[in-house]
């Protein structure tokens, strides 16, 4: 097996800095990651790991982190980002559903999948939990592309039997197609399958029942859906499921809550709903650029996290409701959402969220989100001089003050701050023109 190494300042987390403070952080100023095949064999001071004949890629003036993880993104929505003037339900009707109809065409799926994964890598994102479209072929295209890159990707066919004309499956076909896709893709290489009922506005009770059956039959698959994003959406769910006490209760009754279930948004929840998410180990996914752009509301981190039984939290772009593929920009907007609620968000918490935190949310912390030996060598290399403005700002910070460096980088950084992205031991993106 090939052995090679990358050298630079290594940064990763062994624990949650919100609980353990700076002790959670590993910061090795002149460090080296030794890679054997796909995996990290060792990570530590370069002086301890240098050996004659080892091929070393140097990244001076950069931080080498675990690859970033995006816990909620829609790959059919790359041409929808930045669509003007609508809140959720109109935004879906006017922009998103027309874009998703085009995924009936396998060639369109293949081109979109290539663009999407290239964009993730340009932004330092090595793993995503991604929605496909209602068409099974959209999953095939994305999984084929991800397999070709050896990326850790989780996706699923959207189930929406009460969606708009031209984008509907049925409770039965949604079940059958999902089942076939699970058999074809789940556990192939680094691909995982997420059972994906879009939301309770576009699925019948029979379809949510089928989604629950799939989750029971495939407990190692994930489940992803949307929850409590927008007031009109919540009112519509109330009309459609009058027997349920809340939006969360709709999913709960069909057995969709649990430790592998990721709920996008979770903005407008009653106390009993928060308690159920917490009790079931479900994950609430914070998508700040989307929540601001679609005008959905402010994610209430304090309410979900500051309780004896905290709700598990993930962080995500939600492209194309979200406006950037960059997890740095996503963290910057998260910071601002929390500022509006008179709460701060330390940079260590933010970088933990993008790496180990999202890995924990997906139950993949043994494999990704870390530079520990034995994990897969998925790396994001962040440039400390990506633009004149960032370089100028960072020059004013003592290099030993990593939280300050990280904070400025997350507030000002974007894809230009990603010098390189490695996937399973291979450099798949190197920024053109980077020093």
Residues of the shown chain interacting with Zn ion in the complex, contacts defined by CB under 5 A: 264, 318
* Partner interacting with residue 152 (select from Zn ion, ligand GUN, none; CB below 5-8 Å by kind): none
Q: Which of residues 223-262 bind ligand GUN (CB under 6 A)?
A: 226, 229
Q: Which is nearer to ligand GUN, 167 or 379 (CB)?
A: 167
* Partner interacting with residue 276 (select from Zn ion, ligand GUN, none; CB below 5-8 Å by kind): none
Taking the complex as a whole, how short is the minimal distance between the CB of residue 33 and ligand GUN, in angstroms?
A: 36
Q: Which is nearer to ligand GUN, 229 or 383 (CB)?
A: 229
Q: Which is nearer to ligand GUN, 92 or 141 (CB)?
A: 92
* Buried-exposed string 258-284: b where 16+ CB fall within 10 A, e elsewhere: bebbbbbbbbbbeeebbebbbebebbb
Distance CA 166, CA 173 (A): 14
Burial class (CB in 10 A: 0-12, 13-18, 19+), 398: exposed
Q: Which is nearer to Zn ion, 131 or 351 (CB)?
A: 131
3-state secondary structure of 379: strand
Q: Is 199 in the site for ligand GUN (CB under 6 A)?
A: yes
Q: Which is nearer to ligand GUN, 88 or 338 (CB)?
A: 88
Burial class (CB in 10 A: 0-12, 13-18, 19+), 60: exposed
Distance CA 431, CA 435 (A): 9
Taking the complex as a whole, how short is the minimal distance between the CB of residue 59 and Zn ion, in angstroms?
A: 33
Q: Is 300 in the site for ligand GUN (CB under 6 A)?
A: no
* Partner interacting with residue 371 (select from ligand GUN, Zn ion, none; CB below 5-8 Å by kind): none
Q: Is 156 in the site for ligand GUN (CB under 6 A)?
A: no
Distance CA 192, CA 214 (A): 14
Find how far residue 391's CA is from the centre of its chain. 28
Residue from 211, 281, 205, 282 nearest 244 by CA:
205
Using Cβ positions, the residue closest to ligand GUN within the complex turns out to be 321
DSSP string, 230-273: -HHHHHHHHHH-TTSSSHHHHHHHTT--STTEEEEE--S--HHH
Cα dihedral angle (238, 239, 241, 244), rounded to 10 degrees? 40
Taking the complex as a whole, how short is the minimal distance between the CB of residue 82 and ligand GUN, in angstroms?
A: 14
Binding mask 312-351 for ligand GUN (x = CB under 6 A): ------x--x------------------------------
Q: Which is nearer to ligand GUN, 63 or 316 (CB)?
A: 316
Binder to ligand GUN among 127, 207, 290, 326 (CB under 6 A)? 290
Is 227:266 a contact under the CB 8 Å cutoff? yes
Taking the complex as a whole, how short is the minimal distance between the CB of residue 87 and ligand GUN, in angstroms?
A: 10
* Partner interacting with residue 198 (select from Zn ion, ligand GUN, none; CB below 5-8 Å by kind): ligand GUN
Q: Which is nearer to ligand GUN, 257 or 285 (CB)?
A: 285
Q: Are strands 55-66 and 68-74 parallel, antiparallel or unpaired?
A: unpaired
* Partner interacting with residue 96 (select from ligand GUN, Zn ion, none; CB below 5-8 Å by kind): ligand GUN
Q: How many beta carbons lie within 10 A of that of residue 22, not counting itself? A: 11
Q: Is 263 in the site for ligand GUN (CB under 6 A)?
A: no
Distance CA 168, CA 202 (A): 9
Strands (E), 1-91: 3-13, 25-36, 39-45, 55-66, 68-74
Q: Which is nearer to ligand GUN, 162 or 318 (CB)?
A: 318
Q: Which of residues 40-99 bind ligand GUN (CB under 6 A)?
A: 74, 88, 92, 96
Q: Which is nearer to ligand GUN, 127 or 290 (CB)?
A: 290
Is 178:135 a contact under the CB 8 Å cutoff? no
Q: How many beta carbons lie within 10 A of that of residue 239, not counting itself? A: 8
Q: Which is nearer to ligand GUN, 91 or 335 (CB)?
A: 91
* Partner interacting with residue 9 (select from Zn ion, ligand GUN, none; CB below 5-8 Å by kind): none
Taking the complex as a whole, how short is the minimal distance between the CB of residue 109 and Zn ion, in angstroms?
A: 18
* φ/ψ bin of 141: left (φ > 0), alpha (ψ from -120 to 50), beta (otherwise): alpha
Taking the complex as a whole, how short is the minimal distance between the CB of residue 226 and Zn ion, in angstroms?
A: 6
Q: Is 198 in the site for ligand GUN (CB under 6 A)?
A: yes
Is 168:204 a contact under the CB 8 Å cutoff? no
Q: What is the CA radius of gyration of the chain?
A: 21
* Partner interacting with residue 123 (select from Zn ion, ligand GUN, none; CB below 5-8 Å by kind): none
3-state secondary structure of 59: strand
Q: Which is nearer to Zn ion, 160 or 402 (CB)?
A: 160
How many residues contact ligand GUN, by CB under 6 A?
11
Which residues lie near ligand GUN (CB under 6 A)? 74, 88, 92, 96, 198-199, 226, 229, 290, 318, 321
């Amino acid at each position: 097996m090939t052995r090679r190494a990358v050298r630079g300042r290594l940064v990763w987390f062994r624990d949650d800095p919100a609980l353990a403070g700076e002790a959670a952080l590993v910061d090795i100023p002149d460090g080296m990651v030794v890679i054997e095949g796909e995996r990290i064999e060792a990570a530590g001071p370069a002086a301890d790991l240098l050996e004659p004949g080892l091929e070393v890629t140097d990244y001076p003036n950069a931080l080498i982190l675990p690859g970033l993880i995006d816990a909620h993104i829609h790959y059919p929505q790359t041409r929808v980002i930045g669509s003007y003037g609508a809140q959720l339900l109109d935004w879906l009707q006017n922009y998103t559903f027309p874009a998703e109809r085009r995924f009936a065409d396998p060639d369109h799926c293949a081109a979109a999948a290539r663009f999407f994964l290239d964009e993730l890598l340009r932004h330092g994102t090595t793993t995503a939990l991604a929605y496909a479209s209602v068409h099974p072929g959209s999953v095939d295209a994305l999984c084929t592309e991800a397999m070709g890159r050896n990326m850790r990707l989780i996706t699923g066919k959207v189930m929406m039997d009460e969606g708009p004309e031209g984008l509907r499956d049925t409770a039965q076909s949604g079940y059958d197609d999902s089942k076939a896709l699970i058999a074809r893709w789940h556990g192939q290489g680094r691909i995982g399958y997420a059972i994906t009922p879009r939301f309770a506005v576009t699925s019948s009770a029979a379809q949510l029942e089928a989604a629950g059956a799939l989750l029971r039959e495939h407990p190692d698959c994930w489940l992803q859906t949307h929850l409590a994003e927008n007031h009109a959406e919540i009112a519509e769910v109330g009309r459609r499921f009058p027997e349920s006490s809340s939006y969360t209760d709709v999913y709960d009754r069909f057995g969709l809550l649990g430790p592998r279930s990721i709920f996008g948004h979770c903005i407008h929840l009653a106390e009993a709903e928060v308690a159920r998410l917490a009790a079931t180990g479900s994950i609430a996914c914070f998508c700040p650029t989307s929540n601001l752009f679609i005008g959905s509301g402010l994610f209430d981190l304090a309410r979900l996290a500051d309780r004896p039984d905290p709700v598990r939290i993930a962080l995500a772009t939600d492209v194309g409701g979200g406006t950037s593929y960059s997890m740095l920009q996503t963290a910057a907007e998260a910071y601002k959402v929390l500022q509006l609620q008179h709460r701060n968000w330390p940079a260590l918490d933010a970088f933990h969220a993008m790496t180990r935190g999202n890995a924990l949310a997906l139950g993949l912390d043994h494999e990704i989100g870390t530079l520990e030996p034995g994990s897969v060598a998925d790396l994001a290399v962040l440039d400390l001089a990506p633009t004149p403005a960032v370089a100028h700002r960072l020059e004013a910070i003592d290099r030993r003050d990593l939280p300050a460096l990280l904070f400025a980088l997350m507030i000002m950084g974007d894809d230009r701050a990603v010098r390189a992205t490695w996937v399973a031991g291979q450099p798949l993106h190197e920024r053109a023109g980077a020093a």
